[in-house]
Amino acid sequence: MPYDHVWCVVDVDQHESLDQAFDRARANSLSLAITNPCFEYWYILHFERTSRLFSSTSDVLTRLRRHYSAYTKNHAGTFAVVYPMTEQAIRNAEGVIREKGYGEDLRKCNPSTHVHRLVKLLLVESEN
């Protein structure tokens, strides 16, 4: 079955061969949603717009828990907490990218994410 879209969602902090993955995805026309330094930055954007440098995943988690103290990785309840603020997260992600002048390659852009692009696509698809 052919697909309309194929996405790779990648954290910079957990990917040992990020450069290879980036090149391979591009060579195969796959869409990338890189989050630098980690996926939890996308969650932070639901609560605030921040473009401050994060030194580690731990630093990101500390910031996220200011807003969502019960956060733990892979917790099923996270979706219910962040989903109502999805539009704000999209605006915040786009704002940081504009503010910093980031482009398509976010591997060295801390903090950054293109997860909002995938989410926007999913929202449009869910309307159809």
For 19-50, the pLDDT digits (tens) are 888 899 889 988 989 999 999 999 999 999 99
Q: Is residue 75 included in any domain, yes or no?
A: yes
DSSP 84: G
Domains of the chain: total = 1
Q: How confident is the model at residue 15, as a pLDDT?
A: 67
Token code pair at residue 63? 């910031």
Q: Is residue 36 included in any domain, yes or no?
A: yes
DSSP 56: S
pTM: 0.92
Alpha-carbon span 68 to 72, nearest angstrom: 9
Q: How confident is the model at residue 104, as a pLDDT?
A: 87
More confident residue, 60 or 32: 60
Q: Is residue 87 included in any domain, yes or no?
A: yes
Structural domain containing residue 100: 7-127
Report in angstroms the alpha-carbon separations of 23 from 18, 108, 114.
9, 15, 17
Alpha-carbon span 61 to 43, nearest angstrom: 10
Quickly list H helices, the chain. 18-27, 40-44, 57-67, 78-82, 86-100, 115-127
Q: How confident is the model at residue 14, as a pLDDT?
A: 67
List, in order, residues 6 or more apart from 21 with CB less than 8 Å away: 8, 10, 15
Q: Is residue 1 included in any domain, yes or no?
A: no
Q: Is residue 31 included in any domain, yes or no?
A: yes
Q: Is residue 2 included in any domain, yes or no?
A: no
Task: Say which amino acid occupies 28.
Answer: N
